[in-house]
Each structure stands twice: as structure tokens, then as C-alpha cells.
Amino acid sequence: MACPLLKLLVLVGILVLQVIYNCKATLIVDEKDEQRKVSEVMWEITYDPPKLDMNMSTVLNVSLRIDHITKEDLNDIRMVQLKSERDHVAWVENGTILLRSAADSSVPYNGTFGVVGNFLGQTNLFVELVRKNGTTERVPSSNLPVIVKRQPRVIDHVFTGSVILLMSILYINFGAALDIVALKQIARRPVGPVIGFMCQFIFMPLLSYGLGHLLFPDNYELQLGLFFTGVSPAGGASNIWTVALGGNLTLSVAMTTISTLAAFGMMPLWIFTLGRRIFERAKLGVPYSRFAYSAIGLVVPISAGLLIQRYCPRFARVLVRILKPMSVILILFIVIFAIITNLYLFELFSWQIIVAGLGLPLLGYCFGFLASHLMRLPLADALAISVETGIQNTGIAIFLLRFALEQPAADLTTVMPVSTAIMTPLPLMLLMVGLRLHARSNQRNEGSLIAKDDTNPSINPSM
């Protein structure tokens, strides 16, 4: 008797589970059908103007027209809203849209709204449905592109022109300072330059790309600014810091020269490959022609410097003597002028930007030193490679971003090389102070040992 009863219970259990499954499937289908009925609104959204291009701290009116509204559409809709994807860029004043309860396809909705330009950037306005059950749904094909820029100023043109002029003069100096004989000698045993090249143009671009994705997953402008900083060649200040820290100056100058020349090929390579993915996600067109003009604009001064070295050696020696001061002046000018003329950049500063600006050079220093140590290079060479890896030519990054990108992308991306330029010297200053304190401590210890030896009574060997 127990066995048939058990079979009956199992059969009943299976039937109950089957009924529950069928009911659940029916509810899911009904829910999907209901959602489909609500989501399939055949509205035609029209904006006037079709695109907003505005300045910061301004308000522009936009007219909105919604056609093909039916009574059925309003059965489950409690409210319609005009919203912005990024309120910190631009937002809509009184964006609630009240539709007529007796609306039909012959009575479109017409309304005018004020759009406030809050800060630099790009965003989209869109129409959103609010259902009676509290859920929301975005109406497809209802985007209105909005671009918020800064009001153009004379000082901005002065800054850009000054950077172009100083960069040209600096690269003439680089061409005049190229030591072809020294480069040939280094080429015979290029262990240091090869390590420096790998660190500068393999590790740093990948590091900047990874840091950008980690710290700014949804901010493509900052990703682009950090990436441009990472693919830039070594900065001229690396030679000065190498001397201050006791590194190999000859190796540093050679690596700076090689890095600068290699940048003409490596920067476009990275920008048009890995950097292109950031451009696509940011919905920015890759400015191929402007990058080409920038490369030509840097090659011409170097060629002029080589001609001066060949035909005017006395003048070339003068240019070589002022190379380091010119590098320092350029870096200080760009950083200070960029800060003064673009104080708004500090409104963009966040802990992520500070960490990125400090992390990129700091990790570059550590990786360059570690790679040199693993290859068993002398300490002076390791210091030169470490400094060369971590110090980026932020002037080139700022120049390319300013020249190649349209507003507001040019302004938004500049914040990263400016942050990097400010943070780059901090680890080196701490290291230099630590080395000086360590050297003084050793001198004091040696002095105390000598004094102690002098106070000891001498032993008379005759006794």
C-alpha cells in the first residue's frame, strides 16, 4: 500500500510544480506584453534648435514638440520629463511635461524650456516617461546634443601662441644639441637607452591607459588627457633632476634625445591604435590632420637645429648652453600660465585627478629603477633611467590637446597634464632631501669616528 501512495504523492507534486511553472510563465509573458505596450510609444520628438552650443553660466531656450500622442499612450503614463544625462554639465529648468488627458494624434505637445549651461562638457537631453507604477523609461531617439564651452578670451590665444613659439625654440635647441658621435657610441652598447625606450614608450602608455580606466571609468575626457600625457616623450627637466640626484647625465641627455626623436613615430602609433578606442567611446573624431600638422611643426624646428649645428657651429654652442634653462622656463611657463589663465581647472580637481597626476610619474620612477636594477646597471645609470621614465613632457601633451581637439574637449583634457606637471617633482624633491640628509648623517658619523680616534692614546711601539 505504501508504494502506490508514494507514487500518487510524487505525481501530485509533479502536477503542482507544473501548474506553478505555467502560471509563472503566463505572468512573465503578460508582464512583458504590458511593458511592450507601454514602451512602444510611436512618438516623434522634435527640438528647435536641433543642437545646443552654449557657454558656461548661460541659459538658452529650447522648444520641444511631441507628435503622435494617443489616448492609449496616456493610460499608464503619469508624467513626462525632459532631463539631462549629465546635470553637472547642463540641466533643464522645470523639465516636467504635463500632457493633455484627451490628447490624440491631431493635437501635438508644444513647450519651451530653459537649459542652463553649468560647466564644460557634453551631454544629451532626452524625454523620459514616468509610469503610474513608478518605473521610468527613456523614449528612443529623443536625444538633443548639448555642448557647453568657455567664453573665448584673448588670453587663451596668447597662451596657445606662446606655447607654440617656445616649443619651436626648444626643439631648435634640441636639434643643435644632438651629438651624432655620442649617439653612435651609445648605439654600439645600447643597454641603457633600450631599457629607457621600453619604459618610456611601452610601460608608460599602457600605465596611463590602465590608470585612466581605473580612476575615470566614465570620464573619457580625463582618460584621453592622461593617455596623451603617458605617450609623451621624456621631459627636458629630467636632465636637471638627474644631475641633482647624482645620476648619469650623458645617458640622460642621450635618452632624452632618443625619446624626443622616437616620439614622432611612437606618439601617433599609440594615439591611432589604443588611443582611438578612447576617442570612439568619447564620441570624438580622431583629428588625424591636426596631429600630422603638429608632427610637422615639431620636425621642422629640429631640422633647423641640425642645419645650425652643421653650418653655424658657434651659434649652435650658444643654443646648447641655453638648452637646460629653456627647458625649465618652458615647463614653468606652461604650468604657471596654464594655472593662471585656467583657474577653472581646479574646479575639476578631485582625489582621482590628484592620484592620477602623482601615480603616473611615481610608478614610472619605480618601474624604471626596478628594470635597470634587474639588468644590473650601475646606480647612476639606474637613477637616470628612473628619472627619464617618470618625467613626461607635459608641454607637448598640453600643446597637442589644445591644438588637436575642439572645445570643450581641449579644456577638459588639459587638466590631466597640468595635474601631472604639478605632482611630478614631489617624489624627486622628497628623494633629494632624503639623500642630502643621509649624506649629512654619514658625514657626521665619519667626523665623530675621526674625533674619537684622535682622543685615543697612541701606543708606543718601542714599549
CATH number for position 79: 2.60.120.570
Q: Which residues lie closer than 8 Å to 354 by C-beta, 6 or more apart? A: 419, 423
Boundary of a domain, candidates 101, 125, 149: 149
- Which residue range forms the structural domain that includes residue 172? 152-433
Q: Measured between alpha carbons, how far is 53 from 120 in angstroms, rounded to an integer?
A: 11
Q: Is residue 34 part of a domain?
A: no
Boundary of a domain, candidates 105, 132, 149: 149
**pLDDT in tens for each of the 463 residues of the chain?**
445 555 555 555 665 566 565 655 554 544 544 444 444 567 888 999 999 888 888 999 999 988 887 777 777 788 888 999 888 889 998 888 877 654 455 678 888 899 998 888 888 999 988 877 778 888 887 889 998 887 777 877 787 777 777 777 777 876 777 666 766 776 777 888 889 889 999 999 999 999 999 999 888 888 888 998 998 888 767 777 877 787 887 787 778 777 877 877 888 888 888 888 887 776 665 555 655 665 666 678 878 888 888 888 888 888 877 776 776 677 677 667 767 776 777 777 888 999 999 999 999 999 999 999 898 888 888 998 999 999 888 877 877 787 777 777 777 788 888 888 888 888 888 888 887 787 787 777 766 656 555 555 544 544 4
Residue 276: how many CA atoms within 13 Å on its side-chain side? 6
Asked if residue 423 and residue 363 are part of one domain, the reply reads yes
Which cell numbers hold the place of 438? 643621509
Q: Is residue 133 part of a domain?
A: yes
How far, rounded to the nearest angstrom, does the alpha carbon of residue 196 sit from its chain's CA centroid? 23
Q: Which residues lie closer than 8 Å to 245 by C-beta, 6 or more apart? A: 383, 387, 428, 431, 432, 435
Q: Is residue 35 part of a domain?
A: no
Q: Is residue 70 part of a domain?
A: yes
Residue 23: how many CA atoms within 13 Å on its side-chain side? 6
Task: Reply yes or no: is the peptide bond before residue 193 cis, omega within 30 of 0.
Answer: no
Q: Is residue 454 part of a domain?
A: no
Asked if residue 178 and residue 50 are part of one domain, the reply reads no
Task: Give the pLDDT score at 367.
Answer: 94
**CATH at residue 305:** 1.20.1530.20
Q: Which residues lie closer than 8 Å to 76 by C-beta, 6 or more apart? A: 37, 38, 131, 132, 133
Q: Is residue 10 part of a domain?
A: no
Asked if residue 140 and residue 249 are part of one domain, the reply reads no
Q: Is residue 26 part of a domain?
A: no
Asked if residue 175 and residue 50 are part of one domain, the reply reads no
Asked if residue 287 and residue 203 are part of one domain, the reply reads yes
Please give the model's pTM, rounded to 2 decimal places. 0.63
Task: Give the pLDDT score at 283.
Answer: 62
Q: Measured between alpha carbons, how far is 142 from 128 in angstroms, rounded to an integer?
A: 9
Asked if residue 176 and residue 107 are part of one domain, the reply reads no
Asked if residue 136 and residue 261 are part of one domain, the reply reads no
Decide: 67 and 102 in contact? Cβ < 8 Å.
Answer: no
Q: Which residues lie closer than 8 Å to 306 by C-beta, 6 or more apart? A: 175, 176, 178
Per the structure, the count of domains in the chain is 2
Q: Is residue 456 part of a domain?
A: no
Q: Measured between alpha carbons, how far is 353 from 429 in angstroms, rounded to an integer?
A: 21
Asked if residue 69 and residue 205 are part of one domain, the reply reads no
Q: Measured between alpha carbons, how far is 89 from 147 in angstroms, rounded to an integer?
A: 8
Decide: 146 and 123 in contact? Cβ < 8 Å.
Answer: yes
Boundary of a domain, candidates 149, 173, 188: 149
Phi, psi torsion values for 144, nearest 5 degrees? -120, 110
Asked if residue 99 and residue 88 are part of one domain, the reply reads yes
Asked if residue 338 and residue 190 are part of one domain, the reply reads yes
Asked if residue 402 and residue 260 are part of one domain, the reply reads yes
Asked if residue 102 and residue 57 are part of one domain, the reply reads yes
Transcribe 289-309 into DSSP letters: HHHHHHHHHHHHHHHHHHHHH
* Amino acid symbol at 379: L
